[in-house]
Structure 1
């Protein structure tokens, strides 16, 4: 009986880890897309500007580092009010170039 339980646990734990990892990856991707969409709206970034350029510009912005980190953290922690406050702190770079 104990051998069966140990064998079952050994088989299920890796599957649970893979499921948790997949869920974490999905949650990260959804949060990232939410943040990009909200940055587009906040900064009135044209639809033609690719998401990758938005990520690159904001990630490389020393001016926005703290505000962007706090915004992403609030989104991850489901703190909607704080997320909105932090989003307002982000300075909009010029994407017209």
Structure 2
């Protein structure tokens, strides 16, 4: 949920989301979460600068993919969004890895 709320805030601000925008935000959240979860499983992920850079690049690839590149503010805010994803991932590593 933190990723979903962060994407909503960064991309849409206080705008009320339509069904289509909610669906796109859910899809974006799921894709980013799956990549984050996979990469965090690597031993010593947070100590590895190359591993972190790879994750940032993969997140950017998702954000700029044809599926999401037309979302409002996604191109303009991509670096900030990537930073926020990394912060949330670091803060929630245990929850991401060990959620039931």
- Does TM-score exceed 0.5, indicating one fold? no
Q: For the superposition of Structure 1 and Structure 2, which TM-score range results when normalised by the shorter chain?
A: 0.3 to 0.5
TM-score, with structure 2 as normaliser: 0.35
**Rg larger in structure:** 1
Q: Determine which structure has greater relative contact order: mean sequence separation of CA pairs < 8 Å that are 6+ residues apart, divided by chain length.
A: 2
TM-score, with structure 1 as normaliser: 0.36
More helix by share: 1
